[in-house]
Amino acid sequence: MAETLKVPAGRPMHAGPASAAAAAQEVPVASRIGPVGARHSGPGRRLLRGALLAFSDVSALFTAGTIAYFGWAQSVRGQPAEIYLELLPLSVLFLLGYARAGLYPGFGIGAVATVRLLSTWTSFTFLLMAATSFAVRAPHHYARVAFALAWLLALLLVPLFRFATLRMARRVPGWLEPVLLVGTGSQVRRTIQALGDAVSLGYRPLAVLSPGGGGVGESIEGVPVIGDLDDSVALSKHGIRTVFVEPRSDEAATSRDIERLQAHFRHVVVLRGLQDLPVEGVVIRNLGGLLGIEFNNRLLLFRNRVVKRGLDIVLGSLAFVLSLPIVLLACLAVKIADRGPAFYRQDREGLDGNMIPVWKIRTMYTDSEARLQQHLAADPAARAAWEERFKLENDPRVLPGVGRILRRFSLDELPQIWQVVTGELSLVGPRPFPDYHLEKFEPGFRALRRRVRPGVTGLWQVMVRSEGGVEEQQTYDTYYIRNWSIWMDLYILAKTVVVIVSGRGAY
| Pair (54, 163) in one structural domain | yes
Indicate the range of 67-71, 293-297, 414-418 predicted with least confidence.
293-297
| Pair (183, 150) in one structural domain | no
In this prediction, residue 195 carries a pLDDT of 87
CATH number at residue 180: 3.40.50.20
Residue 27, in any domain of the structure: no
User: Phi then psi for 486, rounded to 5 degrees?
Assistant: -60, -30
Residue 387, in any domain of the structure: no
Residue 489, in any domain of the structure: yes
Identify each DSSP E strand in 412-461 by its residue range: 426-428, 455-457
Look at the alpha carbons of 156, 157, 161, 162 in this order and tell me if their dihedral is positive or negative. negative
| Pair (253, 323) in one structural domain | no
Domain end point (choices 272, 292, 318): 272
Residue 461 carries which side chain, given as an amino acid letter?
Answer: Q
Residue 133, in any domain of the structure: yes
| Higher-pLDDT residue of 333, 48 | 333
* Mean pLDDT of all residues in 8-19: 38
| Pair (142, 183) in one structural domain | no
302-333 pLDDT, tens digit each: 888 999 999 999 999 999 999 999 999 999 99
| Pair (110, 228) in one structural domain | no
In this prediction, residue 504 carries a pLDDT of 61
| Pair (359, 258) in one structural domain | no
| Pair (154, 208) in one structural domain | no
Burial class (CB in 10 A: 0-12, 13-18, 19+), 180: buried
Indicate the range of 134-143, 285-294, 390-399, 419-428 predicted with least confidence.
134-143
Residue 238's CB is within 10 A of a number of other CB atoms, namely 18
Mean pLDDT value across the chain: 84
On the question of pLDDT at 275 being above 60, the answer is no
Q: Provide the CA 132 distance to its chain's centre, in angstroms.
A: 36
CA distance 151 to 238: 43
| Pair (219, 309) in one structural domain | no
196-254 pLDDT, tens digit each: 878 888 999 999 999 877 778 888 999 999 888 888 888 888 778 899 999 988 888 88
Domain end point (choices 138, 169, 200): 169
Residue 468, in any domain of the structure: yes
112-159 pLDDT, tens digit each: 899 999 999 999 999 988 887 766 655 667 788 999 999 999 999 999
Report how many domains make up the chain: 3
Residue 21, in any domain of the structure: no
Residue 282, in any domain of the structure: no
| Pair (410, 321) in one structural domain | yes
Identify each DSSP E strand in 125-172 by its residue range: none
What domain range is 463 assigned to? Answer: 302-363+398-502
Residue 193, in any domain of the structure: yes
| Pair (204, 344) in one structural domain | no
| Pair (345, 205) in one structural domain | no
Domain end point (choices 257, 272, 287): 272
On the question of pLDDT at 59 being above 80, the answer is yes
CA distance 380 to 279: 41
Q: What's the pTM?
A: 0.77
| Pair (498, 442) in one structural domain | yes
